[in-house]
Structure 1
Amino acid sequence: MTTDVKTTPAALARAASVFGDKDAIADGDVRISYTGLLDRVRTAARALIARGIEPGDRVAIWAPNTHHWVVAALGAQYAGAVIVPINTRYTGSEALDLVVRTKAKALVVVGAFLKSDRYADLQRAASPGDLDSLHTVIRIPFDGDAPADGVIEWSELDTLAAGVPAEVADARAGAVSPDDVADILFTSGTTGKSKGVMTAHRQTIGVADAWAECAEITSADRYLIINPFFHTFGYKAGFVVCVLNGATIVPMAVFDVPKVAAKIADERISVLPGAPTIHQSILDLPGRDDFDLSSLRVAVTGAAAVPVTLVERLQSELSYKAVLTAYGQTEAVVVTMCRTDDDPVTVSTTSGRAVPGMEVRIGDHGEILVRGDNVMLGYLDDPDATAKTIDADGWLHTGDVGVMDERGYIDITDRLKDMYISGGFNVYPAEIENALARIDSVAETAVIGIPDERMGEVGRAYLVAKPGRVVDADEVRAYCKENLANFKVPREIRIVDTLPRNPSGKVLKNELREDKS
């Protein structure tokens, strides 16, 4: 590791000491220095302590990328708590599942955002007793929200914090151990039931440090973070990277291509990670030459196939000195990554080689296996699933199939799991199939990913009706939109008489993928 700090509170204290008045966050009109960020984080921690948050308690965060998210997350961890990021696209019932399973004591939630009041959605989804553990709700304002009942407004944190001396919060921060759990991020599995990935502070810091080393991040960089903070790409490979290296965090709440181009020009952005669709959209933006994009230095992409022509265009048409691809999963975050001197063909046809501190090898059936200090602690309340995923020798079984060349670079060729990636988001068919199975007229379901020019992949659902019943595709779509995040909603609905199966009864999804009709 290039840093000797191993907790987020220690990393923030070091950043305040080393980088001082330098911009830590540039969020529209809000400018926060590293010294100011430490002050705000300490205030958030004091407010949470005043509300009875103890070390090890879980604090859920359900909000888009703004400076509030960074302060809330680091503030919770400064108080010794564990953060539980929630996808902003989740429905109330999906968010409720995470709040209940983690027994979250506090929730930091955005107000009206993308035409939805998330806390109201959560309350509507809850049954009596579901939210008994949740005693504190802090609301982040968005687009001039009016005050709401039953919540603590973000503007009230200073007043709330006044009852707790700064020394108390600093003592909490100093007591945080590198081996303490820093966060629980949920990722779905092939069973359809989401799993809570527990990660220690030393691991959250470790993956950020490894990522920064490969991308050569410095305090001179200004980092536009479009990748959502609720995802490891925006959190651990995002703002934590900036805190470790003194780079400036420039958050973006909603992806809008002209606004991205304007932000790059106005903020002199040098680092821009994101799914290939983000970079392709910028290249294809009408009037792109009207924006000064010359500050761009490093692009990091992944989560989908990366055409070599995209890599070449980014370097020839824009000012990128390096375009990198990476591979990881929530259980290990960053496994492999290209380096800044790799050629376009290597970047396009591989996902790089092992990052510092990680080992990678190819196991049985071509499965990619990973071992190292940054492999998760385990799944929340699920020792059986943990034991199935991490073997006795410490190897994490990724479920992905690949090959490794003589240089140690890997190429992911297939997935043992059925997961597909839509717009940079992992989608697990079993989760969608379980939801579809609740529709009364449906007897059987199968979901696959199919290619899509804009999103990379989208879902196609095959449904078989119960005898004597009729499945209505429009009703299926409406049900999915009500119960699933929008990136999980199948783009296509196919009503079929039967599903192809092998002699043991398993659905032959490869045959479904060969359906070109």
Structure 2
Amino acid sequence: MTPARPAVGYRGTDRSYGDLYDRVTRLAHGLTGLDVGRGDRIAYLGPNHPSLVETFFAAGLLGAVFVPLNARLAAPELRFLLDDSGARVVVLGAGQDGGGLPGRHLSQDAVEELIAGAPADPVDEPVSQDDICLIMYTSGTTGRPKGAMLTHGNLIWNAVNLLVDVPLAHDEVTLVSAPLYHIAALAQLLVPTVLKGGRALLEPSFEVDRTFDLVESERVTMMFGVPTMFAALARSPRWAEADLSSLRHLLCGGAPVPEPLIRTYRERGLPFLQGYGMTETSPGALFLGAGHPDAGLGSAGVPCFFSDVRLVAPDGSPAAPGEPGEVYVQGPNVMPGYWRRPKETAKVLSADGWFRSGDIGVADEDGYVRIRDRISDMYISGGENVYPAEIESVLLAHPAVAECAVIGVPDEKWGETGKALVVLRPGASAEPGDLLAHLDGRLARFKIPRYLELVPELPRNGAGKLLRASLRKLHGQRQAR
């Protein structure tokens, strides 16, 4: 439709939609010559790069299955994913070493040779909405990663859900600095941008100063980030004076978003939109669009248009307003299951397609859902359920706190009590007792952690998500305040 328009930008170079189509078509033919076809898995290892985008679409044209690999994983972790997926080919991004990894490897030079030597004829391979488009491995915060099978239909309907909530235009300039080997950047940024004919500006990683530079010079209109990314921008000395006038849509997700962070962006007049989802739902399930009243501020929003969400109490009954319940999701964006994991699939996916998220949410009378926490992250203190995200949101309102996390630790009297791990802002100082006193009067007494420790950093995965399992291993014992 728009072959001359820029499709993908990377480090000062743009490829038009016509160029992208030509390269993707030729790459698909080249992969066919390597005996790669329908149903075969094609893995990609590397950070954000045009080659990743081309491999993704080439796999789709062939009816093959794209398997994006987290470039930050160690060799044994990558071997597990490649063995589990049975990838026939591994495309290596620039600077990636495939030594010790199974399967046939294609370097960037080999990819260019395939493209140069292949025909440009259209690829005539029927692909339906029910065909598997990609296997996206979960972050593996608990146990071995599982491969969520996402169909072409899952990605299409997720994009439609997003376009209902976010009025993307043909002239969008989307900054893609979140990793495309995670579902949010791929399905919430890249696919909708390409669907509208916008320009996807790829960055290999997120950097605060680089983000400000690109927003100003490239007139970026949309970006996605987890809360820690947006918090890092707001803490920068450049925040107050940066030219952010081009921004239309700021999408935030991946963790509960503290209200103080939302207000910081809204005070700048920026459209800060948050949502909730997971790999298994492609990922959108709940969304808080720009037109909602302030009553919904801080919530994950309401169900996306073509998705159903319900909250289920522990006894299986519908959770009443104000009552915690597990989030269930159903719709055309929900995966058909985990790759080669029928037992794991049966645990989370009912016969009629309801996906059990493992997350606890609470809805108000108007239907706005607030995500409390993972069921596995909740701890019970003196018979009361305590949700770390609620405590963390209050701690983050303290001017000295940059990041924080709360875990449950053993307690002789209460069974479990809270322990807060806090990273201070650069140049700030605060005593643990002062930070705990900040919570007094803002939270019920049973929610206030008994212990607080100042730490230099918090462990996170490549998507910026907190690794609570690592925190529990490192800090899961009691200590004096």
Question: Which TM-score band applies after superposition, normalised by the shorter structure?
Answer: 0.7 to 0.9
Cα distance in 1 between the residues matched to 2:366 and 2:295: 14
CA apart distance, 1:29: 2.2
Cross-structure match for 1:54: 37
Cross-structure match for 1:393: 352
CA apart distance, 1:415: 1.7
Seen in structure 2, the aligned counterparts of structure 1 residues 327 and 70 have a Cα distance that, compared at 3 Å, is same
Structure 1 runs of 4+ with >3 Å offset:
188-191, 287-291, 418-422, 448-455, 485-495, 512-517
Asked if structure 2 preserves the Cα contact closer than 8 Å seen for 1:277 and 1:454, the reply is no
Q: Counterpart amino acid of 2:12?
A: D
Q: Counterpart amino acid of 1:194?
A: P
Q: Does 1:155 align with 2:155?
A: no
CA apart distance, 1:192: 0.7
Asked if structure 1 preserves the Cα contact closer than 8 Å seen for 2:266 and 2:272, the reply is yes
Q: Counterpart amino acid of 1:70?
A: V
Asked if structure 1 preserves the Cα contact closer than 8 Å seen for 2:28 and 2:123, the reply is no
Asked if structure 1 preserves the Cα contact closer than 8 Å seen for 2:176 and 2:185, the reply is yes
SS at match of 2:124: helix
Q: Any idea what the Cα deviations from partners look like across 1:211-269, whole Å, max 9, x if unmatched?
A: 23212211121111121100111101121011111121011112111111001111100
Seen in structure 2, the aligned counterparts of structure 1 residues 35 and 347 have a Cα distance that, compared at 3 Å, is farther
Q: 1:69 aligns with which of 43, 52, 70?
A: 52
Cα RMSD over matched residues? 3.0
Q: Counterpart amino acid of 1:157?
A: L
Cα distance in 2 between the residues matched to 1:284 and 1:343: 27
Asked if structure 1 preserves the Cα contact closer than 8 Å seen for 2:47 and 2:93, the reply is yes
Seen in structure 2, the aligned counterparts of structure 1 residues 418 and 200 have a Cα distance that, compared at 3 Å, is same
SS at match of 1:402: strand
Q: Does 1:171 align with 2:124?
A: yes
Q: 2:210 aligns with which of 259, 266, 272?
A: 259
Cα distance in 2 between the residues matched to 1:494 and 1:200: 38
Cross-structure match for 2:336: 377
CA apart distance, 1:70: 0.8
Asked if structure 1 preserves the Cα contact closer than 8 Å seen for 2:254 and 2:465, the reply is no
Cα distance in 1 between the residues matched to 2:137 and 2:480: 33
Cα distance in 2 between the residues matched to 1:153 and 1:195: 30
Asked if structure 2 preserves the Cα contact closer than 8 Å seen for 1:47 and 1:158, the reply is yes
TM-score (norm 1): 0.71
Q: 1:335 aligns with which of 285, 288, 293?
A: 285
Q: Any idea what the Cα deviations from partners look like across 1:168-216, whole Å, max 9, x if unmatched?
A: x5212xx111111000011156861221111110111111221232122
Cα distance in 2 between the residues matched to 1:245 and 1:170: 22
Cross-structure match for 1:103: 86
Cross-structure match for 1:281: 232
SS at match of 2:243: coil
Q: Does 1:228 align with 2:179?
A: yes
Cα distance in 1 between the residues matched to 2:471 and 2:93: 28
Seen in structure 2, the aligned counterparts of structure 1 residues 216 and 21 have a Cα distance that, compared at 3 Å, is same
Cross-structure match for 2:69: 86
Q: Any idea what the Cα deviations from partners look like across 1:345-387, whole Å, max 9, x if unmatched?
A: 5232x10111121111111321111111111011111111111
Cα distance in 2 between the residues matched to 1:285 and 1:228: 22
Cα distance in 2 between the residues matched to 1:153 and 1:454: 47
TM-score (norm 2): 0.76
Seen in structure 2, the aligned counterparts of structure 1 residues 515 and 328 have a Cα distance that, compared at 3 Å, is farther
Asked if structure 2 preserves the Cα contact closer than 8 Å seen for 1:272 and 1:299, the reply is yes
Seen in structure 2, the aligned counterparts of structure 1 residues 277 and 486 have a Cα distance that, compared at 3 Å, is closer
Q: 2:137 aligns with which of 186, 197, 221?
A: 186
SS at match of 2:309: strand
Cα distance in 1 between the residues matched to 2:144 and 2:171: 42
SS at match of 1:53: coil
Seen in structure 2, the aligned counterparts of structure 1 residues 46 and 238 have a Cα distance that, compared at 3 Å, is same
Asked if structure 1 preserves the Cα contact closer than 8 Å seen for 2:52 and 2:93, the reply is no
CA apart distance, 1:25: 1.3
Q: Counterpart amino acid of 1:246?
A: G
Cα distance in 1 between the residues matched to 2:92 and 2:114: 14
Q: Counterpart amino acid of 1:139?
A: S
Cross-structure match for 2:107: 139
Q: 1:410 aligns with which of 363, 366, 369?
A: 369
Seen in structure 2, the aligned counterparts of structure 1 residues 89 and 191 have a Cα distance that, compared at 3 Å, is closer
Seen in structure 2, the aligned counterparts of structure 1 residues 494 and 207 have a Cα distance that, compared at 3 Å, is closer
Asked if structure 2 preserves the Cα contact closer than 8 Å seen for 1:326 and 1:338, the reply is yes
Cross-structure match for 1:43: 26
- The answer to which structure, 1 or 2, has the higher relative contact order (CA under 8 A, 6+ apart) is 1
Asked if structure 2 preserves the Cα contact closer than 8 Å seen for 1:208 and 1:237, the reply is yes
Deviates more, 1:398-407 or 1:254-263: 398-407
> Unpaired runs of 5+ in structure 1?
1-16, 141-151, 430-447, 456-479, 496-511
Cα distance in 1 between the residues matched to 2:197 and 2:465: 35
Q: Which has a greater percent of helix?
A: 1
Q: Which structure 2 residues correspond to residues 320-359 of structure 1 after superposition, within 5 A?
A: 320=270, 322-332=271-281, 333-343=283-293, 346-348=296-298, 350-359=299-308
Cross-structure match for 2:263: 312
CA apart distance, 1:283: 2.0
CA apart distance, 1:392: 2.6
Seen in structure 2, the aligned counterparts of structure 1 residues 190 and 36 have a Cα distance that, compared at 3 Å, is closer
Seen in structure 2, the aligned counterparts of structure 1 residues 449 and 359 have a Cα distance that, compared at 3 Å, is farther
CA apart distance, 1:101: 1.0
Q: Counterpart amino acid of 2:340?
A: D
Seen in structure 2, the aligned counterparts of structure 1 residues 514 and 274 have a Cα distance that, compared at 3 Å, is farther
Seen in structure 2, the aligned counterparts of structure 1 residues 450 and 93 have a Cα distance that, compared at 3 Å, is farther
CA apart distance, 1:291: 4.0
Seen in structure 2, the aligned counterparts of structure 1 residues 449 and 263 have a Cα distance that, compared at 3 Å, is farther
Cα distance in 2 between the residues matched to 1:194 and 1:325: 26
What is the aligned-residue identity percentage?
29
SS at match of 1:182: strand
Number of residue-to-residue matches in the alignment: 399
SS at match of 2:150: strand
Q: Does 1:296 align with 2:247?
A: yes
Q: Counterpart amino acid of 2:370?
A: D
Q: Counterpart amino acid of 2:111?
A: W
Cα distance in 2 between the residues matched to 1:230 and 1:494: 27
